């Protein structure tokens, strides 16, 4: 735990991640709006396309939100006809969420958006540069994920005695 190893000439990596995160999500969100999808809605749909019907609790875990938030995202997608719910035959508490044909119809558009984003992001980089960037990103993701999941080790368990200072604007 070397808390201040040595300063990198380009600033902390976390700052670079944060800046890239913000700008990338901004851009992705704008592109996605063409399809009438909000980022969380698109993310949920992508999980369904990748892994088939999912229980809401699993979707919630993957989205990083609680069950309440997931419920509403699913409700909106359902109202739009992109998603359908059916009871889980093995557990009558649970509901399985699956993409409808109308939802599947969005897939081409979504993939086009991602291809566009990919071109804008790494279009001018050589294959080896792209691979290096990808390797770094995966490594960073792994680390953050380990913290997020395992957690409780180095983390001060945020949200304990944290007074909400800035409220009620």
Partner DNA sequence: GTTATTTTGCTGTCCAGGACAGGAAAGTTC
Partner DNA sequence: GAACTTTCCTGTCCTGGACAGCAAAATAAC
- What character string, x for contact with DNA (CB under 7 A) and - otherwise, covers 56-95? xx--x--xxxxxxxxxxxxxx--------x--x--xxxxx
Among 89, 93, 127, 152, binds its own copies (CB under 8 A): 127
Shortest Å, Cβ 73 to its own copies: 8
Q: Is 108 in the site for its own copies (CB under 8 A)?
A: no
Rounded CA separation 60/57 (Å): 5
Shortest Å, Cβ 58 to its own copies: 16
For DNA, the closer CB: 136 or 147 = 147
Q: Is 3 in the site for its own copies (CB under 8 A)?
A: yes
| 78 neighbors 84 (Cβ within 8 angstroms) | yes
Q: How many of the other CB atoms lie within 10 Å of CB of 10?
A: 8
Residue with tokens 């080896």, as numbered in its chain:
128
Q: Is 12 in the site for DNA (CB under 7 A)?
A: no
Q: Kindly write down the DSSP assignment for every residue of 81-110, as one continuous string.
A: TSEEEEE-TT-TT-EEEEE-HHHHTTHHHH
Cα 137 to Cα 23, 30, 73, 132, 144: the distances in Å are 16, 23, 28, 9, 11
Q: Is 52 in the site for its own copies (CB under 8 A)?
A: no
Report the interface residues with DNA, using CB under 7 A: 26, 29-30, 38-41, 55-57, 60, 63-76, 85, 88, 91-95, 159, 166-169
């Amino acid at each position: 735990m070397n808390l201040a190893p040595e300063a990198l000439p380009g600033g902390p990596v976390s700052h670079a991640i944060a800046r890239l995160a913000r700008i990338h999500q901004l851009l992705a969100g704008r592109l996605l709006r063409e399809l009438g999808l909000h980022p969380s809605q698109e993310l949920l749909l992508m999980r369904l396309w990748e892994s088939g019907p999912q229980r809401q609790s699993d979707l919630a875990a993957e989205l990083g939100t609680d069950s309440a938030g997931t419920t509403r995202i699913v409700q909106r997608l359902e109202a739009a006809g992109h998603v359908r719910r059916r009871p889980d035959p093995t557990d009558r508490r649970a509901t399985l969420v699956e993409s409808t044909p109308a939802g599947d119809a969005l897939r081409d558009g979504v993939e086009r958006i991602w291809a566009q984003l990919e071109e804008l992001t790494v279009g001018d980089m050589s294959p080896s540069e792209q691979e290096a960037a990808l390797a770094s990103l995966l490594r960073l993701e792994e680390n953050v994920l380990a913290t997020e999941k395992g957690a409780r080790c180095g983390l001060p368990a945020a949200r304990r005695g944290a007074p909400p200072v800035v409220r009620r604007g």
